[in-house]
Amino acid sequence: MRVPNDPGDVNRGAFGELLRLQTEFHARLAEETIRYLRRLQGAGMPAAPGTVVHPNEAGELHASGRPGEVVTLDLEVENRQRVHSMVTPLIEPLVEASGVTWFPELEPAPGSQLVPPGEVRQLVLPVRVPAGLPPGTYRGALVLQGFRDGALPVAVEVKRLAASKRSSATKRATAAKRPTAAKHATAAKLRSRRRT
């Protein structure tokens, strides 16, 4: 079989295509082989013993408060392992049934705690409820970072502001938006002057 190399040859296209396919095949083969070897390498990596979190039966963190307040989530952590365990609580976004999503802030941030074996530590997690957050029950999860199965359900009930606080807040808001009686009077005077 004649394999032409001349640029103007009509069969060059087919030969070039064959070469391209062969090159692609070898490149892909090498890539897949390396990926397979990496997976094997991963399976042979030294194991790092980890930790699993078991919540007790009533395993939901619950708190309630009004916008502007700081509510607390109380959690006890018991370390039943034979060595110290580092505990880092993080809270996930909380969602209300109407779809409002709240990115809660732990204030001050609790940081991490090193819990000795056989001991129980209490974590008090303060969460600031932002002013203006619509009332409702916000649900989400608290995770202990890095632990397997570590999510704990969280429910924060945001109550309506008290009537006096709400009315004063409403008054402040309307005062900022609407003209006062004095402003109304001045505007009326200006209108009457324009007419005359």
Site for another protein in 13-32 (CB under 8 A): none
Stretch that binds another protein, among 1-9, 21-29, 138-146, 166-174 (CB under 8 A): 138-146
Query: Among residues 16, 74, 159, 166, which is the contact residue for another protein, using CB under 8 A?
Result: 74
138: amino acid identity, one letter = Y
Contact with another protein (CB under 8 A) among 14, 30, 34, 175: 34
How many other CB atoms are found less than 10 A from the CB of residue 191? 9
Q: Applying CB under 8 A, does 53 fall inside the site for another protein?
A: yes
What the block records as the tokens of 19 is 């070469």
Q: Say if residues 140 and 92 touch (Cβ distance below 8 Å).
A: yes
Q: Which is nearer to another protein, 28 or 184 (CB)?
A: 28
Residue 64: closest CA among 155, 153, 131: 155
**Are 70 and 127 spatial neighbours (Cβ–Cβ below 8 Å)?**
yes
Contact 142, 92 (CB under 8 A): yes
Binding site for another protein (CB under 8 A): 34-35, 38-39, 41-42, 45-56, 58-61, 74-87, 90-93, 96, 98-107, 109, 114-116, 120, 122, 128-130, 133, 143-148, 152
